[in-house]
Structure 1
Amino acid sequence: MANMGFYDKHNMVAFLQKPSGSEEFHQIVDFLTGSHIRYALTTNPTIYVSLIEQFWQTATVETVNDGEQQITVTVDGHTLAITEASVRRHLQLVNFHPNGDF
């Protein structure tokens, strides 16, 4: 597994706009705008760099009882367990499955 670390290009938001001069991308923008992943691409919460750095400095990966992997972190003194299910819930991807099923 690759080393986990903080990179300043993480957490970038997508802007789904159709500027003139890029008409060849309009169909892609239309698809993403209507997609179930739109929220995950375009939400722009305020996340302080200090919190992101704490996350990556304390992140560890472990396998829990059901075989699912989870990331455990400590941010501002709070220990958090992050699973695939929690990421799906917070990015509103609850009904999205990687194999294409809904």
Structure 2
Amino acid sequence: MVNFEFYDKHNMVAYLKKPSGSEGFQEIVDFLNGSHIRYAVTTNPTIYVYLIKKFWQIATVKIVDNGEQEITATVDGK
């Protein structure tokens, strides 16, 4: 049986509000609030250590032409 240990470092949520002292970030907050990625940065899913380790067992990292790293993995046949 797998031990589904909770990994809190991957469960961080963004709060897309405009408190005082955040001048200069207003446009970024507006963009994120109006974007389709808003859900991804404001939802708090449960992510388990087992699943992270399983992903990295099947993932490969290679350096592409521009020098950046690319991660490739097959998950559920895709």
Q: TM-score, normalised by structure 2?
A: 0.55
Give the fraction of aligned pairs with identical amino acids, expressed as a percent: 73
The corresponding residue for 2:16 is 16
Can you list the C-alpha shifts for 1:64-91, whole angstroms capped at 9, x where unaligned?
xxxxxx7324xxxxxx123xxxxxxxxx
By relative contact order (CA 8 Å, sep 6+), the higher-ranking structure is: 2
Higher strand share: 1
The corresponding residue for 2:25 is 25
Runs of 5+ consecutive residues of structure 1 not aligned to the other structure: 1-8, 62-69, 74-79, 83-102
Quote the RMSD (CA, aligned, Å): 2.8
Q: TM-score, normalised by structure 1?
A: 0.45
Runs of 5+ consecutive residues of structure 2 not aligned to the other structure: 1-8, 62-71
Aligned counterparts of 1:71 and 1:57: Cα–Cα separation in 2: 9
Aligned counterparts of 1:55 and 1:27: Cα–Cα separation in 2: 35
Q: Which runs of 4+ in 1 moved over 4 A?
A: 9-12
Query: How many residue pairs get matched?
Result: 61
